[in-house]
Amino acid sequence: MAVEERDYYTGYLTTGHEWNGIKELNTPVPRAVYFFLLIAFVFSVGYWVLMPAWPLGVSYTKGLLGLDQRNIVQDSLKRAAFGRSAWTKQIEAKSFREIQADPALMNIVRQTGRTVFGDNCAACHGLNAQGGHGFPNLTTTSWLWGGDPDAIAETIRVGINSPHPDSRTSQMPAFGHDQILQPADIDKVVAFVRSLSDPSTAKTAKPGDVDAGKEIFAANCAACHGEDAKGNSDVGAPNLTDKFWIYGGDVQTITNTLWNGRQGHMPSWEGRLTPLDRKILALYLFDERMPAP
Amino acid sequence: MFGLHYRLERKAIGLTLGIILVASIGGLVEIAPLFTIHQTVEDAPDMRVYTPLELAGRNIYIREGCYACHSQMIRTLRDEVERYGPYSLAVESKYDHPMLWGSKRTGPDLARIGSKYSDEWHVAHLNNPRDVLSVSVMPAYSWLLKTTLRTDDLGAHLKAQRAVGVPYTDDMIANASKDAYGQAAPESPYADGVTQRYGKATNVRAFDGRPGELTEMDALVAYLQVLGHLTDAAHKSVAKAAR
């Protein structure tokens, strides 16, 4: 800088640094850089004025536009809800039966229901609603707590054995563990229960077990599962005569169920899903069911 | 214009001080005000602290690197709010040391996972995710169910958290190991102490389905089930904004 020496060939000033006779040129910064720097400065001044920017001790400058990301997201949610309102209002107002009779609305229910189901229910009940070990298949006609849309909507709202005050509650007692039944009697009940859904198993069971099991069943199990073992949706007792099992229908699993009891848990969705979403889900699930056999 | 700079460049200490000054502007503007501006952290008088068992679960969450694929931060974006629930508030991470907001989602956000699924589901899913979700790419954490939880050091963990501002009482620190056991054994004599010290809203149950044994699975599921439930400030603030 202080070296006011101009390079002979380029006409630029040198920095005064010299290595074996080679001198460093003090080439000026290109004008374009200054130009963009200036634009950036002007932009930032505008940004400071319009947007929330500078901290001021215990507060901050709010900006002339008054933008707040929290309000923006609320507005966009409201706009989205408004955009859907043409059909959401109809679904909210109409009864399950009326919606089911309206093909256009049911198309929307199928589309939206699939998304809501995928985000919330698929983790347990599977992407295709066919359940898994310990999680009921929702495409069958065998529903623990009733399979009409009203009953499904209520189950979604309160859950099963959940902390919700209106929760559906149900518990299969631990007949073996709590010594309500003797081990030999449990084997007989298992033989009888298996024969209900699959009569061919009666042949391989110990002779007399099925008949003896029937008596023990009538005395201990029929209160919830019913005299005919077809279950009772008032107490969430499953139908034992169909081919659908939540935990499994083999000897080992049924013995395990009788021995240790079962207490399935479904969360309540009242705090998480809107009444509209729950209504759509109930309709979606009712619609997904296989036709009655 | 450059005269000052040319002179500064020749003074090593002056230049160093100048660099430090310029480099700290970003920090001064973005970080320092968070300590003085009250609006940055909302009020939540009902905010609970993690119980020893939940804290142990949180340490397992960190140990297994869950944060590498799961975030705990619902941003103020429409799609996130519609999928996961109310956006995250700063106060919800008030007692998170270190915070586990994460920066990448290979799996879904977990900020509001608490009580969304049943304990049985979490146990089955952590044991082998493919058992419940055939398309899952999450690794299996099958050893959690077989590994006994270490509880003798939980008092020290609570103490360390208190040193950075979490309001654990002496009573909580002294009973940390017992409370960890009691929270996963509702029938045991230690269970009452947990509700007494940490509030009625605390989940007290056999998280892994086996009340007698305290496993790492108990701790991790207890932690996951409390995520988003230490305070309901987020639900309130959304309801307020909606009005």
* Residue contact B118–A69, C-beta within 8 A: no
- The residue in chain B having the minimum alpha-carbon distance to the alpha carbon of residue A163 is B115
What pLDDT, on a 0 to 100 scale, did the predictor assign at position A290? Answer: 66
Q: What number is the average pLDDT over the span B223-233?
A: 93
Least confident of A22-31, A208-217, A258-267, B96-105: A22-31
**Each residue of B63-96: pLDDT tens digit?**
999 999 999 999 999 999 999 999 999 999 999 9
Q: Indicate if the pLDDT at residue A244 is higher than 80.
A: yes
Pair type for strands A14-19 and A22-25? antiparallel
Contact criterion met (CB below 8 Å) for B191 and B185: yes
| Per-residue pLDDT band at B243 (split at 50, 70, 90) | low
Q: Is B241 on the interface with A (CB under 8 A)?
A: yes
* Buried/exposed B170-194: b ≥16 CB within 10 Å, e otherwise: eebbebbbbbbbbbbbbebebbebb
CB pairs under 8 A between A and B: 80
Predicted pLDDT of residue B233: 86
| Class of residue B53 by CB neighbours under 10 A (exposed 0-12, middle 13-18, buried 19+) | buried
Cβ-defined contact of A119 to B3 (cutoff 8 Å): no
CA B180/CA B13 separation, integer angstroms? 55
Query: Which residues from A are below 8 Å from B237, CB to CB?
Result: 70
Q: What is the mean pLDDT of residues A28-48?
A: 94
Name the residue in chain A with its Cα closest to that of B4.
A1
What gap in Å lies between CA B211 and CA B145, rounded to an integer? Answer: 13
Give the minimum alpha-carbon distance from A82 to chain B in angstroms, rounded to a whole number.
14
Q: What is the mean pLDDT of chain B?
A: 92
Is A132 strand, coil or helix?
Answer: strand
* Residue range A105-112: mean pLDDT, rounded: 94
> B176-183 and B154-163 are packed helices; what angle lies between their axes, rounded to 10 degrees?
110
Contact B35, B71 (CB under 8 A): no
pLDDT (mean) for A39-58: 91
Which residue among A54, A57, A71 sits closest to B241, beta carbon to beta carbon?
A: A71
- Tell me the pLDDT band of A9, cut-offs 50, 70 and 90: confident
- Who among A59, A69, A135 is closest to B76 (CB)? A69
Query: Which tens digit of pLDDT belongs to each residue from B102-126?
Result: 999 999 999 999 999 999 999 999 9
pLDDT of residue A293: 47
Please state the rounded mean pLDDT for residues B218-237: 91
Three-state SS for A14?
strand
**Yes or no, beta carbons of B116 and A120 under 8 Å apart:** yes
More confident: A218 or B32: A218
What are the b/e assignments for A249-278, b being 16+ CB within 10 Å? bebeebbbbbbbbbebbbbbbbeebeebbb
With a cut of 50, say whether residue A1 has pLDDT above it: no
Tell me which residue in A59, A77, A133 faces B37 most closely, judged by beta carbons.
A59
- Contact assignment for B37 to A58 by CB distance below 8 Å: yes
B132 touching chain A per CB within 8 A:
yes
ipTM of the complex: 0.84
Q: What digits encode the pLDDT tens for the residues A111-123?
A: 999 999 999 999 9
pLDDT band at A208 (very low <50, low <70, confident <90, very high): confident
